[in-house]
């Protein structure tokens, strides 16, 4: 059978502010995970519209489309196109789980929740021509799942082909997060067997890994054993974790020993009222600066996540947040305008109080204001958000934040990582155009490596020459 698997491009990928590199980071692991359940005789074509032009002229028997909120309309169009051609179309992903009634109208079958067990069930039904309209995930375990179909991934098109997920979900319940909607009706946090996770890591070539888990330190026993097993594997890796897990026990030291070099941390807000409003209990009364210092003392760079527009935010929140990030040497900051995704408690609360202003899902990209604000006007919120990005990533603030580190090696690492990420768009575009993105990995590994005192990251990299760049842009 011919199977087409598609990740349609997010709407923001067409915005004038689109940074191609931002959408060429990670391959579509979810689809590759499902592909592993197909038969070796099946002809599988996995396409990611962020990195390639979709071929819509084919005639697959089965089409599998992954739907996020800001690619939903595009996903529905593609689904319609293939249904008209006689293919059987199935839709799954976060948006489908949040709004199954909407998704149902565009598919032959939809998938609610994670697909590891419902997809093989569907395949059996499909063979027997007895499919159902809705497949709801009920079994929640990662035991005995087949290795991800990584051979379908076009590795040279991604900066981080070695992305990996060893857990599902998260132990927390923030009101603005999709997690509870997606995992409703069963366990919402579970892990692979440690040996399976280590085998998956061993299968990945090179040195660098990016754990895409929502909370890599969420299960202390699992994380301890994972890091113990990774010692001596000579890996460098990036991941995400919460403030409280950084402050508690010595797990973060073990992660650093195993190769953790950069961490995504959800600071979100400095206001305890905002934290309470969001049910972000894991941040309440936690010493953010202590967590930052602990990470820096271990040589771990920080990608801080911050949300603007919670009800306790005022006009000064933008400057406060940017200044704090610069002063505390946060390596990269990700700012979001509060977005009430359908299916979340935040959405339900806002809907009940009449605060949802639009249901145009294309605008739910965390860059637009889609709800009735309180202390700030929508214009102030949008302008403050734009200003924060510009200000945090100005050269003067990148330099200031870099120089605020104690040691020279951290100063250099910070400067290269942040400057490289935000200030060299032509280099990224050149690498994407010439299919050489993957070749920059040694540079990333060099920046993430434990730099020895006499080693200078400048000497470890082979950046494209000026001549190469001028022919590319």
Give me the residues that bind ligand SF4 (CB under 6 A), please: 170, 172-174, 177, 179, 214-215, 242, 266
What's the number of CA atoms in the CB half-sphere (13 Å) around residue 259? 21
What is the closest distance, in whole angstroms, from the C-beta atom of residue 264 to ligand SF4 in the complex?
Answer: 9
What is the CA 244 to chain-centroid distance, rounded? Answer: 20
Q: Is 404 exposed, middle or buried (0-12, 13-18, 19+ CB in 10 A)?
A: middle
SS3 category, 153 = coil
Residues 6+ apart with CB under 8 A from 297: none
By beta-carbon proximity to ligand SF4, the closer residue of 279 and 455 is: 279
By beta-carbon proximity to ligand SF4, the closer residue of 188 and 332 is: 188
Reading the block at residue 147, the tokens are: 């290795």
What is the closest distance, in whole angstroms, from the C-beta atom of residue 71 to ligand SF4 in the complex?
Answer: 20
What is the closest distance, in whole angstroms, from the C-beta atom of residue 303 to ligand SF4 in the complex?
Answer: 13
By beta-carbon proximity to ligand SF4, the closer residue of 179 and 296 is: 179
What is the closest distance, in whole angstroms, from the C-beta atom of residue 170 to ligand SF4 in the complex?
Answer: 3
What is the closest distance, in whole angstroms, from the C-beta atom of residue 436 to ligand SF4 in the complex?
Answer: 33
By beta-carbon proximity to ligand SF4, the closer residue of 345 and 400 is: 345
Reading the block at residue 400, the tokens are: 């200031």
Residues 6+ apart with CB under 8 A from 63: 3, 4, 5, 6, 78, 79, 82, 87, 88, 89, 90
By beta-carbon proximity to ligand SF4, the closer residue of 170 and 444 is: 170
What is the closest distance, in whole angstroms, from the C-beta atom of residue 457 to ligand SF4 in the complex?
Answer: 31
Compute the distance between CA of residue 12 and CA of residue 177 in angstroms, rounded to an integer.
20
Residues 392, 319 contacting (CB under 8 angstroms): no
By beta-carbon proximity to ligand SF4, the closer residue of 91 and 94 is: 94
Compute the distance between CA of residue 255 and CA of residue 47 in angstroms, rounded to an integer.
34
């Amino acid at each position: 059978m011919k199977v087409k698997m598609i990740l349609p491009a997010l709407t923001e990928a067409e915005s004038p502010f689109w940074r191609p590199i931002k959408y060429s980071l990670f391959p579509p692991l979810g689809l590759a995970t499902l592909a592993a359940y197909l038969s070796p005789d099946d002809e599988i074509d996995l396409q990611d519209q962020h990195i390639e032009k979709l071929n819509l002229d084919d005639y697959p028997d089965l089409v599998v489309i992954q739907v996020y909120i800001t690619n939903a309309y595009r996903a529905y169009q593609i689904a319609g196109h293939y249904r008209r051609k006689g293919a059987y179309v199935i839709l799954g992903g976060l948006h489908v789980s949040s709004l199954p009634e909407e998704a149902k109208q565009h598919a032959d079958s939809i998938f609610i929740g994670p697909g590891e067990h419902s997809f093989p069930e569907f395949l059996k039904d499909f063979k027997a021509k007895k499919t159902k309209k809705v497949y709801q995930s009920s079994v929640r375990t990662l035991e005995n799942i087949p290795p991800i179909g990584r051979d379908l991934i076009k590795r040279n098109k991604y900066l981080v082909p070695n992305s990996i997920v060893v857990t599902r979900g998260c132990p927390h319940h923030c009101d603005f997060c999709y997690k509870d909607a997606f995992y409703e009706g069963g366990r919402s946090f579970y892990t692979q067997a440690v040996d399976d996770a280590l085998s998956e890591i061993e299968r990945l070539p090179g040195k660098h890994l990016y754990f895409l888990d929502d909370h890599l330190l969420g299960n202390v026993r699992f994380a301890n054993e994972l890091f113990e097993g990774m010692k001596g594997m000579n890996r460098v890796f990036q991941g995400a974790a919460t403030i409280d897990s950084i402050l508690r026990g010595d797990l973060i030291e073990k992660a650093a020993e195993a190769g953790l070099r950069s961490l995504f941390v959800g600071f979100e807000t400095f206001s305890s009222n905002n934290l309470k409003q969001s049910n972000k209990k894991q941040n309440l009364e936690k010493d953010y600066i202590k967590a930052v210092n602990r990470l820096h003392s271990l040589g771990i760079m920080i990608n801080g996540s911050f949300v603007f527009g919670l009800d306790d935010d005022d006009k000064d929140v933008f400057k406060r947040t940017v200044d704090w990030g610069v002063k505390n040497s946060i390596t990269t900051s990700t700012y979001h305008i509060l977005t009430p995704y359908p299916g979340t408690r935040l959405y339900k609360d806002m809907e009940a109080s009449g605060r949802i202003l639009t249901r145009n899902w294309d605008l739910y990209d965390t860059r637009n204001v889609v709800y009735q604000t309180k202390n700030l006007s929508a214009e102030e919120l949008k302008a403050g958000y734009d200003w924060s990005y510009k200000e945090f990533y100005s050269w003067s603030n990148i330099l200031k934040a870099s120089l605020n580190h104690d040691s020279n090696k951290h100063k250099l690492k910070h400067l290269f990582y942040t400057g490289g990420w935000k200030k060299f768009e032509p280099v990224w575009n050149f690498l994407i155009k010439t299919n050489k993105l993957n070749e920059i990995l040694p540079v990333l590994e060099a920046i993430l490596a434990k730099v020895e005192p006499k080693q200078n990251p400048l000497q470890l990299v082979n950046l494209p020459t000026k001549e190469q760049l001028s022919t590319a842009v």
